[in-house]
A and B are shown apart, each in its own frame.
Chain A
């Protein structure tokens, strides 16, 4: 497994502004998710809400390594990717609120973020169902000779479903520029990996398709960044797909209604205390003399304001116009009754 915590990390050579931007985006995701949980409790957000708290380093590290022309297709725990891509937190929050100013006008809510300007093809709530789309994006990229990589993010649970295997085979068979990025957070809903998957290391599943694979410490944003960069280079150079497994952990329940009987309080506490990706990164940058406490504190303060403003924006935005409920089903409205 690649980890930079104890070793040298080429990522540290990034300009300070970039390092602090990575810190900033992780804090933004954390605070955004906390605010979303509060707004859910207040009834401003409805339905099903899945938080990314604890896994911030995966989205931020991977997306920082991506070219802005690369494609991103993800599963439903998707707020973190949108924020890591730099999408407006107000429009993200408005989508959760179901407001007309949301990323997709309030049509989808939490699990269905998308934004064409960032080549973010969206969060998909049918687990594993988005992976063939990444294959198609990779095929289009190859066909058009664009050297763009399609990055697909999914969980450990998704690797047990058919579309995952069909996608891996096609991507390998046709040598497509697809990066399969698996977030192994040890659980799929209430089921631990060892009860759901015949192999515990997701990366081992890649060998059936002869896809090169690597495991990386998903709590270490620089390790994720470096591993993703190398993987993207592989894909971009025409060598076919790559499989990256990021070992991570979600600090909150699967969704807002999760009694969490499948894991112990001690386990959760241990991860929160020892493996918080934001704390780890902040400590690392401090130790390396990259930034000082006051600089981090300033970012933290700024993010508090950004998130408060996002909630205000969402709250004050109008509901969608009832007239628009039938929009975007077809290119031109069709008469069916």
Chain B
């Protein structure tokens, strides 16, 4: 058992999967010599050599498209897009090719690949280095979408993603890469895609979050507990598929729900979940769902801290559903 940051857990997991399975190959900009700009691939080149740890030119479309070809031919590529914001030049290959390969071939070809990308704000990156583009992926049938928030999950879900038979977009909140350390078991465990984690049990309201915003969500839970309010907190971890059972079980119990994410609110993942809750649990709800999201603006540089859902904004939303 080692105490690791999230980014260390990712680097170790990649190494473990590469030793377990020769078909696992890592590719991306500066993933080799440099070990990745955030060091998520540190040490891999030395250990596995340049055939399996491939430094590519600045060519997002070719990185993703090449991964599709490699995956179709039986390899298990793990492509890194240096910042999630750079997916847009490569989005065509992801949405047009990776997502549809199984479908267009009637199941003859598949693209079992992972596209890892540091995502989200809170690091003053400005509008080309802070985005949370998960809704674009979630809106593209054929892709699975994972967003981790802890070192433990990063390991278990990355293993699940690499072993999955479909393309998985694996989002790593860059703000959380080194935010905390936790014990990460050495064993070969998997956290299944599609399962939410209950981070705190409670009865008065449910707060659902994921990724970059989880620290604020947990803090809000602590604050509410101090005020004698029992919040149940769910970390979704997977957005496609998302854990409908866990969400419905919790909201059916509490009757009140606040949903939190560091992403634009309009047409976001939170809206989808809130709508499903409304469809399934309308007559058990004690208040309408309330979303706490980023703004429907590009991510601001100076006002980064305003955009990111704050504990105060989450507590206000909690108050709103409790006092409805």
Contact = CB atoms under 8 A, between A and B. Distances in A.
A107 B297 CA distance: 11
Contact of A158 (B34, B58, B124, B128): B58
Contacts of A129: 89
A108 B125 contact: no
A48 interface: yes
Interface string A106-120: 111111100000000
Interface stretch (B134-142, B200-208, B226-234, B302-310): B302-310
Contacts of B298: 107, 329
Q: Do most interface residues of chain B lie in helix, strand or loop, or is the interface mixed?
A: loop
Contacts of A325: 295, 297, 300, 303, 306-307
Interface in A135-182: 157-158, 160-163
Interface string B49-70: 0000001111111000000000
A52 interface: no
Interface string B290-324: 00000111101111101100000000000000000
A112 B127 contact: yes
A109 to B, nearest CB: 4
A189 B29 contact: yes
Contacts of A110: 126
Interface in A184-212: 188-191, 195-197
Nearest to A100: B302
Nearest to A104: B301
A110 B128 CA distance: 11
B195 interface: no
A337 B302 contact: no
Contact of B124 (A98, A105, A163): A98
A98 B301 contact: yes
- Chain B contact residues (Cβ within 8 angstroms of A): what range? 35 or more
Interface string A55-76: 0000000000000000000001
Contacts of B300: 106-107, 325
Given A107-B302, A325-B303, A189 B34 contact: yes
A127 B123 CA distance: 20
A99 B303 CA distance: 10
A126 B297 contact: no
A337 B303 contact: no
A228 interface: no
Given A125-B128, A161-B89, A319 B302 contact: yes
Contacts of B30: 189-191
B126 A322 contact: no
A125 B303 contact: no
Given A320-B303, A322-B306, A160 B126 contact: no
Contacts of A237: none
B296 A337 contact: yes
Given A326-B296, A336-B266, 17 more contacts: A47-B126, A99-B302, A102-B302, A107-B127, A108-B126, A124-B128, A127-B58, A160-B57, A161-B57, A188-B58, A189-B29, A196-B55, A196-B58, A325-B297, A325-B303, A336-B265, A337-B265
In the complex, the 3 A-B pairs of residues with the closest C-beta atoms, listed nearest first: A98-B302, A106-B302, A46-B124
